[in-house]
Amino acid sequence: MTGKERKVFLALIWLTFREINTGFEGLKVSERIPMPDDPSVTVDYETLLNNLEQSIERFISEGSKKALMCVRCSVQCIQKAQARERGCWR
């Protein structure tokens, strides 16, 4: 995927997986967000939300070499995709 809406499209895919996974009883799912400097390193989505609640603006994931993830930007991108899926945001 390329272009300005790349993050939104990826978030929509993530939301689709989330919806599919909720249909399986007993399935434990950890929602992970890739780090910008190394997509093989991920951070738990709930951890991002907790950091946002604590006003932590930047986050270095375990295993990441240098990049700081912008917590607010990452969470807002996902929230925009959720709103778009519900038809609330264009």
**Torsion sign (Cα): 5, 39, 72, 23:** positive
Task: Report the interhelical angle of 6-21 vs 71-85 (nearest 10°).
Answer: 70
Using DSSP's 3-state secondary structure scheme, residue 25 falls into coil
Q: 25-65, pLDDT tens digit by residue? A: 888 878 887 776 677 888 888 888 888 888 888 877 777 77
Dihedral pair phi/psi, residue 32, rounded to 5°: -120, 145
Specify the pLDDT at position 89: 43
Using DSSP's 3-state secondary structure scheme, residue 57 falls into coil
- Under 8 Å between Cβ of 61 and 41: yes
Position 13 pLDDT exceeds 80: yes
Q: Any idea where the domains of the chain sit in the sequence?
A: 6-85
Specify the pLDDT at position 66: 67
Alpha helices in the chain (DSSP H): 6-21, 45-53, 71-85
Specify the pLDDT at position 43: 82
Average pLDDT in the chain: 76
